[in-house]
Structure 1
Amino acid sequence: MSTYSRPRPPADRSRHHVERAEAALIGHYARLVRLAYLTLPPALGRHRRVLAAHGTVQRSLRGVRRGRGGPALPAQRGESSSDYAWVRLRVLRGALAEGTRTGWWPPRLSARHALPPRLPAVLGLRLFPRAGGAGELALDQALSEVRPEVRAAFALLLLDGLPSEAVRAELAQADGRDPGGAVRAAERLRSAHEDAGALLRSEEFDPCTVHTRPTDLIRRRRRARFAAMTGALAVLTCTALAVTSGPPDQGRTAAPVAGPGSAVVDPARLVRAGHGSWADSARVDFTVWPARGSRAGDRALLGRALGAWASPAGDVTVSAASGTTAVPPSAPARLLYAGEADGDAVVLLHDGQRLARYTEPGPGGGGRALDLARADNADVTSAAAVALTRGGGSVRYLTAPWIATAATRDLLDPDAPAHALEVAADGVTPAVPRPMAGGGCGESWPALQLRSSRRIVERHSFLVTDLGDLSPVHLTYTPPPGRGAPARQPREATSGPALVSWARSVCLLRGMRGTGVRAVNDWAFAEQDLPEEGGRAVWTCTRVGTWRGPGDILVRFRPPARALTAPGTVVARRADTAACGRFGQHLVAQARWRAPSGRWYVLAAGSRAVTRIETAGSVRETSAGTTLAVPAGREAPVAVSGLTRDGDTLRALGTG
């Protein structure tokens, strides 16, 4: 039986009731603004979204009159929470309406009814909430991918603590689309993010605590000059028209018509982002990279780069990463960089789906080259750096505008500190060592440790390493399950345990060079105490995600080892699988292990949702929990399976 009651209209619309509504708005102002901010479209950008959230709350009592004829106010009797609920409903309705547009309405503008100037208004400054950590960033990205009703339901569930039925009723009253589906999607989102309530209450989602930055000062001056020139031109045009005595059609000539595809090879049509747009965007990827480099204005160089992409000549060597097409762009590309690097002229372009690096070598350096790689759905980490040049065992990167610091570290030596890099003003790093080419692992494995600007995320450092493609590979780590802890999510591989785990895993990457790898996660899905006091082993699943979408996994059994970099035993490999990822979080694996006494065992372990493991074949045994160890001959046939708490049966990966 539902205990939720909708806010009811009053019997008397007196001054007292209006004052109660105003008091509820003022008393819960920060709470209401946060709800509006979360519901509003992320495409507005953080600055517009902050102002729109405050405006939505401040306008929520519009039309309420101290007398007859106004909208319904809360009933006089009842708890004061009914006043807040009534105001909250009006705020929610306004925030949902703000995101309602017809198909032709530009997505970065407010809804049409908000076009007239409204308060609050800010000129000359950009506002944005304080940046949170990696968890807040991941949640913000997840919220940007769902519709407004889901974001509103998510906020009502976690911030206001309403039950699902009450949230469904509230969305229906606010004229939201498919309230039931929105609540179900919000509940799935809550289960997918650890400590979602605490993250939602952080400063990342607080539009009442904001940072300020000036707007683009250069663009502002250009606009002022352009306005002055436009005014002067208008005066001259009117004067010329006034003294023209010829017939209206005299002297007209047809405008030149561009041929097919001419826009994609015209340097003047290149898209260029503003230098500060990355700090006020819901998307933090290649679309907000500004055009940088000493030759960003070299039309001849840019024209040759565009021509090589649209129709490469015989002296241009074209190479495309795995799963990347080499067709010309269908629309004008975005310019990311044009400059000199290691004696070569380099142009970096982006067409929304792919990166293109055009290289003109210096004198005596050979022919031109065009390298293409996929970059669709890039984010703050996978769009953090691009390789400009390689050679002599080193690589030089161009870092994203949101990268505050860069350093190098050796993944085979987790105890060694990172070494800071002096990054140039245009984002180009010095030449840094790259992993040894060929089949070996070498004595070191260099990686780049980057830290994001506090303007988008607090305390966010992450690791990337070069595997031969344009974009370096993002490395993450998922720690073992804790006692009673919720499901662990992949996190940045910069902590001590993460670096130790990657020291034993990084050599597995040597066979993945040039295969279009986007990210690799090292998941320690189980720990097991070995029989006969053999120590504590770790079971890991290393998932290799590609830009194409499919992922490969390697499941390993890692017993205690003297060498810090010993990789352990690979017990299973799978290609094009969802296992060990977002849609394959349950896993059971098995392996053979020889104890110090010489006795052989069948070992098995499962992820945190596994409640029972059992064997069949020459040995029959059942173990409650996530691990099993049973004596068995080295060649004895043994099949292992696991049962999850939801009743699903999992067949073990590995050999038994």
Structure 2
Amino acid sequence: MQSQDVAQRSAASPGPVVDVEQAEAALVEHYPRLVRLAYLVLPPSLGRNRRVLTAHALTQRALPRGRTTATLIPAQATGRDGDPGYALVRLKVVRTALEAGVPLRRAAWPKRSQLPPLLPQVWGLRLFPRSGGADELALDQRLSALSSPARAAYVLRGLEKLPDPDVRKVLTAAGVDDPGAALKEAGGVEARDVLLLSPEFDPCSLHARPTDLMRRRQHMKAALAAGVAAAVCGALLALPSGGWGPDGAAAPSYAQNPAAEAALDPGKVTRVAPTAWRSSARTDFSVWPARGNLAGDTALLRRALAVWARPGESVQVSATPGTPSGAPAGPPQLLYAGDVDQARVVLFYDGLRIARYAEPRSGTGGAALDFARVDGATGAEAEALVLDRADGNVRYLTAPWVTGAAERDLMKPTAGPTPLTLSAAGVSTPLAGSAPTGTCTAWNVMQVTDASGPHLLTDLGELIPAHLTSGPPAAPHEAAGPAALRNWAPFACSLAAVRSQGVRSVNAWQYAQQPLPDASGQAAWVCTRADTWRGDGTRVLAQFHTPDGAYGAVAAKAENSPACGSRDPHVLAGVLWKSGTGDWYLLAAGSKDTASISTTGGVSGSARGALLAVRTKQGDQAGLKGTLTDGRAVSGLR
């Protein structure tokens, strides 16, 4: 029936005949884009988990059952130009996504796309795309207010880059009665094409969380005894006198636990006095005062606490690796509640984690909940939190003892910092993001200043910026000094390799300098070590930088290694290097307590001391082994 329908609609404007194999090739090649298209056109009322599964189901069912006729509507993006198979599959995806948004009627049989998909199914888990910033949340809200045809028109314009005449043809072929009205309605939403490519709308890159475990248990009991269902209803009605207001995007509560309910009382959250930090010996999140223009908004705090305890299906939940995302054990500490750009943001601290709740200023749909582990944070590690990301910029909330903030490019060590303004509540003006797209030509960091001096913090895509240091592992120092800035500059872009890994701090240690064999100057050997909040997952890079290079080259890397750390302040690494005369060398360097280095494998050579240079050929492979001054053996970093 579906293939016949495609053929009938295409009869008015016949195009090339498409085989199943051709359509399948187009679907497989462009599957992520087609699933994103379906996800964006589907009604947000389905909830994020069902939208994800339905988008995949509709895309996988888009293959024709035999040879059929494609429309003449061209595909406008590279790799899809003039591909009738892609045009046919895209049309089927748009049509079924539009059908999924049509309400069920008693007088008509439901269409397959209107029903929950039989496959794929994931039991016991909620799946949802990664969280975006305030701009993505705002766009999702605007799209949810559009009709399904208008949403399809907006997406075909922005994602597929189709001109309006071709959008009109696609909508007509998909069964839309008035494509002109859909285009006009879509024109009322500001064009933000780049946001459609955000991870916020990518149903192929997903987070997984369990469904409401308490609800599942109660449902099982309800199936065995109707009396349990009555008890559940009673629990729902047994709220405290007057309540604290609606729970917004939180899931329903099916149980009443006095301790859990106390943690949800906005009147019991801990509020530290504004001057407590001045007399405290601690410099951590426990002495941050409650700040923000909405710190007294009981309804907002109630929603944030309820979502923390029971995130609904529409809530985007993310957590740094190793961070539990469960409900608070007791009333948490309020750090901030206020309006930030186009969102309302609440920050809590429970002694182990920072929890960030964000919702659009209009309504609670599209709420986000993010967690970051911060146990043991002190000093520079507890001086800033990410409040919001928008248009590639980051806005921070700083500690009350921070006296100044500035932006600086880590790749330009001689350029001075650009001051950032801090509000009375400690909120910074926007700082350009430090995760570049495409070629890495800049890496922006925030320089915060307190009574002990300046510190450098870099955004790695999480709530807590990573603290940058420099120097030997046994005694690292702040990276804000001139020598440390020069040391970091060639290696700034390597920070992208530890993005979203729960990184606590990154230290850059220049452990050796080596004269180059062609007398073109000295090369620097630098070891960068990224330590995480959870302890494991450390990442170590040994990097090699020549005087004529803008960037350092990764010579060796290791994960969960003690090398370059306080427990094992030793490192040995090598690299194949081509001189200006065209000759190839194996260069190797160890830390200063290396007594000798020798090669294994396809290259033969040895040297006393911490440096080795051996003539070799392109493509040769070799291993390294060394001996420390105390007689211990050390192997090449791997």
> TM-score band (shorter)?
0.5 to 0.7
Structure 1 unmatched ranges of 5 or more: 1-255, 480-486
1:522 — aligned with what? 508
Q: Secondary structure at the match of 1:582?
A: coil
2:477 — aligned with what? 491
- For the pair 1:558 / 2:540, whether they are aligned, the reply is no
State how far apart, in whole Å, the 1-side matches of 2:551 and 2:332 are: 43
Which one of 517, 524, 528 corresponds to residue 538 of structure 1? 524
Q: CA RMSD in A?
A: 2.3
State how far apart, in whole Å, the 2-side matches of 1:595 and 1:313 are: 60
Contact 1:447 1:463 in 2 (8 A): yes
Contact 1:343 1:361 in 2 (8 A): yes
Within 5 Å, which residues of 2 pair with 1:462-473?
Answer: 462-473=455-466
- Please state how far the C-alpha of 1:488 moved relative to its aligned partner: 6.0
Change (3 A) 1:634 1:620: same
2:584 — aligned with what? 600
Change (3 A) 1:609 1:276: farther
2:289 — aligned with what? 290
Change (3 A) 1:623 1:506: same
- Please state how far the C-alpha of 1:426 moved relative to its aligned partner: 0.8
Aligned residue type for 2:416: P
Which one of 577, 590, 595 corresponds to residue 611 of structure 1? 595
State how far apart, in whole Å, the 1-side matches of 2:365 and 2:559 are: 38
State how far apart, in whole Å, the 2-side matches of 1:342 and 1:394 are: 11
2:613 — aligned with what? 629
Within 5 Å, which residues of 2 pair with 1:443-458?
Answer: 443-452=441-450, 454=451, 457=452
Task: Decide which moves more: 645-654 or 372-381.
Answer: 645-654
- For the pair 1:270 / 2:256, whether they are aligned, the reply is no
Within 5 Å, which residues of 2 pair with 1:293-442?
Answer: 293-363=292-362, 366-436=365-435, 438=437, 440-442=438-440
- For the pair 1:569 / 2:553, whether they are aligned, the reply is yes
- Please state how far the C-alpha of 1:616 moved relative to its aligned partner: 4.4
Change (3 A) 1:441 1:581: farther
- For the pair 1:478 / 2:492, whether they are aligned, the reply is no
Query: Deviation string for 1:221-264 (max 9, x for gaps)?
Result: xxxxxxxxxxxxxxxxxxxxxxxxxxxxxxxxxxx997241121
Q: Secondary structure at the match of 1:500?
A: helix
Q: Secondary structure at the match of 1:505?
A: helix
Q: Secondary structure at the match of 1:463?
A: strand
State how far apart, in whole Å, the 1-side matches of 2:328 and 2:512 are: 46
- Please state how far the C-alpha of 1:365 moved relative to its aligned partner: 8.3
Q: Secondary structure at the match of 2:403?
A: strand
Change (3 A) 1:571 1:339: same
Aligned residue type for 1:467: L
Change (3 A) 1:362 1:532: same
- Please state how far the C-alpha of 1:470 moved relative to its aligned partner: 0.6
2:572 — aligned with what? 588
Q: Secondary structure at the match of 1:381?
A: helix
Change (3 A) 1:598 1:578: same
State how far apart, in whole Å, the 2-side matches of 1:642 and 1:634 are: 23
Q: Secondary structure at the match of 2:518?
A: helix
- Please state how far the C-alpha of 1:322 moved relative to its aligned partner: 2.1
- Please state how far the C-alpha of 1:425 moved relative to its aligned partner: 0.8
Query: Deviation string for 1:111-152 (max 9, x for gaps)?
Result: xxxxxxxxxxxxxxxxxxxxxxxxxxxxxxxxxxxxxxxxxx
Within 5 Å, which residues of 2 pair with 1:100-111?
Answer: none
- Please state how far the C-alpha of 1:595 moved relative to its aligned partner: 2.3
2:235 — aligned with what? none
Within 5 Å, which residues of 2 pair with 1:44-83?
Answer: none
Within 5 Å, which residues of 2 pair with 1:221-232?
Answer: none
Aligned residue type for 1:414: P
Aligned residue type for 2:489: A
Task: Decide which moves more: 440-449 or 382-391.
Answer: 440-449
- Please state how far the C-alpha of 1:514 moved relative to its aligned partner: 2.1
Change (3 A) 1:301 1:282: same
- Please state how far the C-alpha of 1:620 moved relative to its aligned partner: 4.7
Change (3 A) 1:631 1:341: same
Contact 1:275 1:290 in 2 (8 A): yes
State how far apart, in whole Å, the 1-side matches of 2:582 and 2:420 are: 50
Aligned residue type for 2:262: A
1:281 — aligned with what? 280
Contact 2:511 2:592 in 1 (8 A): yes
Which one of 461, 466, 470 corresponds to residue 454 of structure 2? 461
Contact 2:436 2:443 in 1 (8 A): no
Contact 1:441 1:510 in 2 (8 A): no
Query: Deviation string for 1:459-480 (max 9, x for gaps)?
Result: x21111111101111111126x
Query: Deviation string for 1:492-524 (max 9, x for gaps)?
Result: 111222222322111112243322222111111
Q: Secondary structure at the match of 1:640?
A: strand
Query: Deviation string for 1:599-620 (max 9, x for gaps)?
Result: 2222111112212223345655
- Please state how far the C-alpha of 1:637 moved relative to its aligned partner: 4.9
State how far apart, in whole Å, the 1-side matches of 2:403 and 2:414 are: 23
Aligned residue type for 1:403: V
State how far apart, in whole Å, the 2-side matches of 1:328 and 1:435 are: 31
- Please state how far the C-alpha of 1:281 moved relative to its aligned partner: 3.0
Which one of 626, 631, 638 corresponds to residue 642 of structure 1? 626
- Please state how far the C-alpha of 1:316 moved relative to its aligned partner: 2.7
- Please state how far the C-alpha of 1:652 moved relative to its aligned partner: 1.8
Change (3 A) 1:650 1:442: closer
Change (3 A) 1:429 1:538: same
Task: Decide which moves more: 267-276 or 311-320.
Answer: 311-320
Change (3 A) 1:361 1:617: closer
Change (3 A) 1:290 1:634: same
Aligned residue type for 2:581: S
Change (3 A) 1:316 1:611: same
Task: Decide which moves more: 427-436 or 272-281.
Answer: 272-281
Query: Deviation string for 1:197-226 (max 9, x for gaps)?
Result: xxxxxxxxxxxxxxxxxxxxxxxxxxxxxx
State how far apart, in whole Å, the 2-side matches of 1:427 and 1:508 are: 30
Q: Secondary structure at the match of 2:381?
A: coil
1:179 — aligned with what? none
The count of aligned residue pairs is: 383
- Please state how far the C-alpha of 1:401 moved relative to its aligned partner: 0.9
Aligned residue type for 1:305: A
State how far apart, in whole Å, the 2-side matches of 1:293 and 1:555 are: 43
- Please state how far the C-alpha of 1:547 moved relative to its aligned partner: 1.8
Q: Secondary structure at the match of 1:370?
A: strand
TM-score normalised by the chain length of structure 2: 0.57
- Please state how far the C-alpha of 1:528 moved relative to its aligned partner: 0.9
Change (3 A) 1:516 1:476: same
State how far apart, in whole Å, the 2-side matches of 1:400 and 1:367 are: 28
